[in-house]
Amino acid sequence: MPCRAADPMQPVPHSILIPTCPAPVRAAVRPPGSKSITNRALVCAGLARGDSLLTGVLDSQDTRVMAAGLAALGIRLEPDWPRGTVRVTGCDGTPPATAATIDCAASGTTMRFLSAVCPLGHGRYRLDGTARMRQRPIGDLVAALAALGVNAVAESPGGCPPVEIRGTGLQGGVTRVHGGTSSQFASGLALAAPCTPRGMRIEFEGGLVSLPYLAMTRRVIESFGGRCVADGDRVWTIAPTGYAGREYAIEPDASAASYFVAAAAITGGSVRIEGLSRASMQGDVGFCDALERMGCTVDWREPTAGDAGSVTVSGRAARGIDIDMNAISDTVPTLAVTALFAAGPTAIRNVAHIRDKETDRIGDLVRELRKLGATVHEHADGLTIVPGDLRAATLATYDDHRMAMSLALAGLRVAGVRIEDPACVGKTFPDYWERLAAAAALDPAFGTAT
């Protein structure tokens, strides 16, 4: 069976050969809990008055890093990762620790959210991460915090981590944030805002990216008793309500679901995703709409009492499309791989910000797709994939979970596709290889270390 990246006692293969799929993929899949919702809920529960019980929690490197970061701030968490639950005793808006060094590893959400949470405390806090994290800009968030009176410094060139913060109890007020690099800057500020004495008015400057993630942040804030009022897409006003502990169920991860519905689209099969519907707070359910434009059939079953709903994607993605993926940018690599098997080119636009993800998800993606034999044109804000005669290749993943999970899908149709550093999927989906093998009925030798 494939390696389990989350199990440190198991050998980690340097690369894995993806076996071609013996038949069109036909499966029902319930993805693990949403990483994005899990990390937002952990922050709200950690800052709340009283206790919270989170269920459906994702067990991954990113979520464990967030939990460890909150614990470093003195917040009590009792995770049961195998059961997907975390009990949290909230700090009522003031992190108890007066000093903390937080290792954010490769988790951008942890770096950005906790950089906004630390000023609520009284003390000195330092947030650092991997070498790549030290290349990911955070200067816009530091500037927004400075406008609120926070002493914060991004120490690496270009306004990148480590971040050093001297917290004196964030009071709130009015600030501006540029939204063109990451929606997580505004989300971090908004998550902290209900715990400030004055509340917060956040004014957005420039173009905004990944708008559905901002809407997600508002919904999670409100689920824990906060109040966030949006004036169009340019101003948020967050009241100083604090948060109240509660039981909170986390829905399956729509970004993780994209790999399985793409497997159906690439092989001409049918995959039903349980627990996701049009009612989901995750914008990445819109990936199914992109597949429908490419020729697949998409059937939505809306939630009812006792049924969380589902979406089924069937048939082949037979034609290329021109698409603005700004709102669903985490699924760009997945759609790009799917486009390899369509008739005609696919143009992906308005995603320049994904160059600052775990890797440059435009330039590096272009490089790997070309190895497979496709003609791929790189643009400042996207790429165009022109299908061709595909061939075997060994594909680099750049320590990027989404690159690994997406590029592997090419191997379902193309013999000889090898994925390097498969353990990097542990960032958000530790048992991805097992789940893919089960859904696609792959060779049981899949995942042998080499």
Alpha carbon distance 68, 194 (integer Å): 22
Predicted confidence band of residue 140 (pLDDT cuts 50, 70, 90): very high
Q: What is the mean pLDDT of residues 327-347?
A: 97
Close Cβ partners of 7 (under 8 Å, ≥ 6 residues apart):
none
Tokens of 119: 């000023």
pTM to 2 decimals? Answer: 0.89
| Secondary element (H or E) of residue 112 | helix 108-117
C-alpha angle with apex 104: 16 to 162, nearest 5 degrees?
120
Question: CA gyration radius for the chain?
Answer: 21
Taking CA 396 as the corner, what is the angle to CA 347 and CA 256, rounded to the nearest 5 degrees? 65
CA dist 431 and 94 (Å) reads 36
Catalytic residue from among 330, 399, 400, 421:
330
What gap in Å lies between CA 46 and CA 244, rounded to an integer?
10
Rounded CA gap, 101 and 126, in Å? 5
Give the span between the Cα atoms of 316 and 319, in whole angstroms. Answer: 9
For position 7, what pLDDT does the model report? Answer: 42
Please report the pLDDT score of residue 75 as a whole number. 98
What whole-number distance in Å separates Cα of residue 402 and Cα of residue 66? 19
pLDDT, greater one: 188 or 448: 188
Model pLDDT for residues 52-71, shown as the tens digit of each residue: 999 999 999 999 999 999 99
Res. 252: pLDDT tops 90? yes
Q: Is 330 a residue of the active site?
A: yes
Closest-CA residue to 51 (of 244, 276, 283, 302): 244
Q: What is the chain's mean pLDDT, rounded?
A: 93
Q: How confident is the model at residue 11 (pLDDT cuts 50, 70, 90)?
A: low
Confidence of residue 177 (pLDDT cuts 50, 70, 90): very high
**Residue 439 confidence (pLDDT):** 95
- With a cut of 70, say whether residue 9 has pLDDT above it: no
The confidence band for 182, taking pLDDT boundaries of 50, 70 and 90, is confident
Residue 446 has pLDDT above 90, yes or no: no
Q: Are strands 375-379 and 122-128 parallel, antiparallel or unpaired?
A: unpaired
Q: How far apart are CA 16 and CA 433, in angstroms?
A: 10
Asked if the peptide bond before residue 252 counts as cis, ω within 30 degrees of 0, the response is: no
Decide if pLDDT at 77 tops 70: yes
pLDDT of residue 3: 33
State the distance between the two ends of the chain, measured CA to CA, in whole angstroms.
14
Q: Taking 60 as the threshold, does the pLDDT of residue 6 lie above it?
A: no
Q: Say what the pLDDT of residue 32 is.
A: 96
Instruction: Encode pLDDT of 359-377 as tens digits.
Output: 999 999 999 999 999 999 9
User: Do the Cβ atoms of 170 and 150 come closer than 8 Å?
Assistant: yes
Pairwise CA distance, residues 411 & 425, whole Å: 17
